[in-house]
Amino acid sequence: MYANDYLYNMAEDLVIDLSLSKEEKYKTLLPQIEALIAGETNIIANMGNLCAAIKETFNFLWVGFYLVENDELVLGPFQGPVACTRIYKGKGVCGTSWEKEQPIIVPNVEEFPGHIACSSLSKSEIVLPVFNNGNIIGVFDVDDTQLNTFNEVDKQYLTQILSFLSFE
């Protein structure tokens, strides 16, 4: 067995106690995601595992990335139902987060001007910009079937989780 074989043989399961509070789940999840993507240089693989870990832990409706390509956000790795493939800058929650380069928490998507309904099941949403060397390269989008799901706790921990991604 080689020294790096553990990267290929690591456990595929997360250890999350579903009875924990949201913040306790994030605190438990943080080191597991960091370990999961440590040593892996493929950003798409890491984005995919990050989405799966968050979806599995919180059972959100949709968790995924949209990546900047020319003047659009293009669907990247995600977990959940099929999604919109392309979003223009300034359109919907994702396009607005991209344009403003800041996180957006939407307690009720029906009340967000210009919301793009990729799924009628989505009721609340959080979108965070993804940066590489100070430049926005995409957004991280999480949707849920319940109203008022997301708050500053999600923003804080999702920002920290996104900081684990390496674009080298």
Any domain includes 85: yes
User: Has residue 40 been placed in a domain?
Assistant: yes
Query: What rounded mean pLDDT belongs to the chain?
Result: 90
- For residue 14, tell me if it sits in a domain: yes
Q: What range does the domain containing 142 cover?
A: 5-162
pTM of the predicted structure, to 2 decimals: 0.90
Residue 168 has pLDDT above 70, yes or no: no
Measured from the Cβ of residue 105, the count of other Cβ atoms closer than 10 Å reads 17
Kindly report the CATH number assigned to the domain that includes residue 90: 3.30.450.40
In a domain, 17, yes or no: yes
Confidence (pLDDT) at 76: 98
135 lies in a domain? yes
Question: What is the residue type of 117?
Answer: A
Task: Please state, in angstroms and rounded to a whole number, the distance separating the CA atoms of residues 107 and 110.
Answer: 9
- pLDDT one-digit tens code per residue, 74-131: 999 999 999 999 999 999 999 999 999 999 999 999 999 888 877 788 999 999 999 9
Q: Is 167 inside a domain boundary?
A: no
Q: How many domains does the chain have?
A: 1
Q: Is the pLDDT of residue 3 over 50?
A: no
Nearest-CA neighbor of 79 among 62, 102, 99, 96? Answer: 62
The pLDDT assigned to 1 comes to 35
Considering the domain boundaries, does residue 168 fall inside one? Answer: no
Helix (H) or strand (E) holding 7: helix 5-9
